Structure 1
Amino acid sequence: MTALVTGGTRGIGYATVGELATLGAVVHTCSRNHTELNEKLQEWQSKGLSDWFGLTFLAESKERSLWRLSSSVFDGKLSILVNNAGTTIIKPCEEQTLEDYTTVMITNVEAPYHLSQLAHPFLKASGNGSIVFISSVAGSMALPRLSAYSASKGAINQITKSLACEWAKDNIRINTVSPWAVRTSITKPVNYLHLNKWNGNAEDSEPEEISMVAFLCLPAASYITGQVICVDGGYTAGGCWPFQNFSFNLFNP
């Protein structure tokens, strides 16, 4: 297995890189931060995982630039693409600027969509390709101050279903993992004290707990495609909880 995981130096991406490597995949990852990328490489090497790592050193955000670099590194071989990199801007809708909206949409929708297009011939050639998008429960349920982010994740959910149907003939599976609040740099503003009162599992999750990502890449998941799978400690099963009142204090000041 050869995998490319975007945004692999933090959070869910970082955990996914490590898990795929321990499962025997040759993993390529990327980051806009060279220093952070090198630090993680040293960490992985210290754990004895260096034989499974390829590095795509990305300072640019353009997908085609990433693809030129990464495709030369993995010599045209790719069976797994994990579209993990993303961002959010937490503001009420009336305060969201066009720049805010554009930033979220380019990062969360356009980038993974175009990267998937570029990956298609390689995944098809592998004979058993898999794409996993990282979405959010915000793509399925309304959350306060996240209108642009929610729209971007809702788009990813629908792209998942569309591509799964279009590319089934090419033996490429496409699925999405939708976490609830995972402790990463992107969720620092979340008020976990209030959140945990209402989560069905009574806890927020750590990136390492989102192991569904790696599972969906494996042959064991060969009959799973077009699915948006919530990994949320029971949150969506319990409904919207207190969000009928959007003044609920989900985020820290």
Structure 2
Amino acid sequence: MRRTIRFLASLLAVLGLTVGLSACGNPSLAAQDVLQADRKSQTMTWGVRADIRLFGLLDTRDNQIKGFEIDLAKAITKQILGPKGRAKFVQVTSATRMPMLENGDVDAIMATVTKTPERAKMVAFSSTYFNAGQSLLVKKGSSIKNIHDLNAQHGTILGVVGANSVEKALAIAPQAKGLQLTDYAQAMTALKSGQGQALTTDNGILYGLSLQNPGYVVTGGTFVAEPYGIAMAKQQQPLKRAVDQALVTLRQDGEYQRLINKWFHNVKGFDYEEAAHQ
């Protein structure tokens, strides 16, 4: 019996040592320095949208994602890693972007993520790189002119899963109803089919949708501030500092303004000064 007990104790000790050595040899993602790893690989992995015109949209002609956020991510990458630095892009949605960051599938997320106190508890945000505001997209000639009309008419507000736009709109228009779809393509289809009277999200996204769908217009002004920030894991403070410094440099040398002009110059009613405000 004593031999059996001694054998089990020895076995448990060996197993504990093995687990300890394994943990030391393969630290968890939370303990890794992403900035240091990126500098070694000369690659930074970004979570981006591929379904939002102007910010990040997949071009089916060459299978490349293109937009303001894509170009800005490339510029930040080169600021941090040098001229040979490479930006790698991974497609995310409103619903998947935070889990993918938490799982370590991406180093940082630049995907029209609004900086909110609730999200700031979970992730580290960069300084604001685009100052958006929540608005409405409606069919031309619609009786819906603002969020209060939706409330008065008990209308249905469309949005996407993973964003918080519908919840914010319903807080202002409690008599309205909300319907959330998987992505903006489905939300736009729902708007066209009459499942809702208005689609709500940040005005930057809505401007892109209005360009794609000429029969629809942005209306109602902005009823909620929606500042966009680059999201990183809480513990990755060296990366956050590097990203913030890169944004400062890009603003100072004019590259940021050049990219804003490149992507939004033909958007009717676009306020450059407001969008660029930090």
TM over 0.5: no
Q: Which has the larger radius of gyration?
A: 2
- TM-score (norm. length: structure 1): 0.30
Bigger proportion of residues as helix = 1
Select the structure with the greater relative contact order (CA < 8 A; seq sep ≥ 6).
2
Bigger proportion of residues as strand = 2
